[in-house]
């Protein structure tokens, strides 16, 4: 039993206690915000160079529209801008954490929020334009069929004749036409056949 239950040999260096690690970077952001930025950067592999290529140099393949859309909310708020600008690197001062470095780099891009919106619109324009064009073609085709339809013209003519017959002898009788929105009032007409 001595073989299994021997006391541990004392080590020269005590093991570091959990939670007492010395910080290696300066973190200015709230924990959740910093974590959100770092998760995005690690998961998407987006770099400041690719963002700069997309919004400054207008390189189409530098960044996907989805990634640019995800980067836009990561731009620092006014409060975060103040904290990042007030940070003074120097001797004995730890460097900024990854999220703070990323936000500082975004701030270095002149008018980033406006540029990003413009670039996102430019990236999505062709796709959205083709979707709208398809819808417009459909609407124009429907309008052309309605205008060319002889059946609709005869139905409207019949509605006009019935309306003039029912309003004969009143100020509304003898009308030369009607508006399309007045067709909804046809539901209100009652028959006297069963009365």
**pLDDT value of residue 133:** 92
What does each of the 195 residues of the chain score in pLDDT, given as a tens digit? Answer: 555 555 555 555 555 556 566 767 767 777 788 888 888 888 877 888 888 888 888 877 788 888 888 888 888 888 888 887 877 776 776 777 788 888 888 888 888 889 889 888 888 888 888 889 989 999 999 999 988 999 988 988 888 888 888 777 787 777 877 888 888 877 777 766 665
CB atoms under 10 Å from CB of 119, counted, come to 22
Identify the residue whose tokens are 């004749």: 161
Q: Are 106 and 74 a contacting pair, CB within 8 Å?
A: yes
SS3 45: coil
**pLDDT value of residue 138:** 93
Q: How far apart are the first and last CA of the chain?
A: 109
Residue of 46, 86, 87, 88 lying closest to 66 (CA atoms): 46
């Amino acid at each position: 039993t001595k073989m299994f239950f021997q006391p541990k040999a004392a080590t020269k260096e005590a093991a570091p206690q959990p939670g007492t690690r010395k910080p290696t970077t300066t973190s200015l952001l709230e924990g959740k915000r910093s974590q959100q930025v770092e998760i995005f950067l690690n998961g998407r592999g987006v770099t400041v160079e690719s963002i700069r290529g997309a919004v400054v140099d207008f390189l189409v393949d530098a960044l996907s529209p989805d990634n640019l859309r995800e980067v836009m909310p990561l731009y620092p708020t006014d409060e975060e801008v103040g904290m990042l600008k007030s940070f003074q690197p120097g001797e004995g001062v730890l460097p900024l954490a990854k999220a703070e470095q990323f936000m500082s780099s975004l701030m270095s891009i002149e008018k980033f929020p406006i540029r990003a919106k413009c670039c996102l619109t430019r990236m999505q324009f062709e796709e959205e334009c083709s979707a709208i064009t398809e819808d417009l073609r459909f609407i124009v085709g429907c309008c052309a069929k309605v205008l060319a339809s002889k059946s609709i013209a005869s139905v409207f003519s019949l509605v006009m004749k019935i309306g003039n017959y029912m309003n004969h002898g009143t100020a509304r009788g003898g009308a030369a036409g009607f508006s399309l929105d007045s067709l909804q009032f046809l539901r209100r007409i009652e028959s006297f056949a069963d009365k």
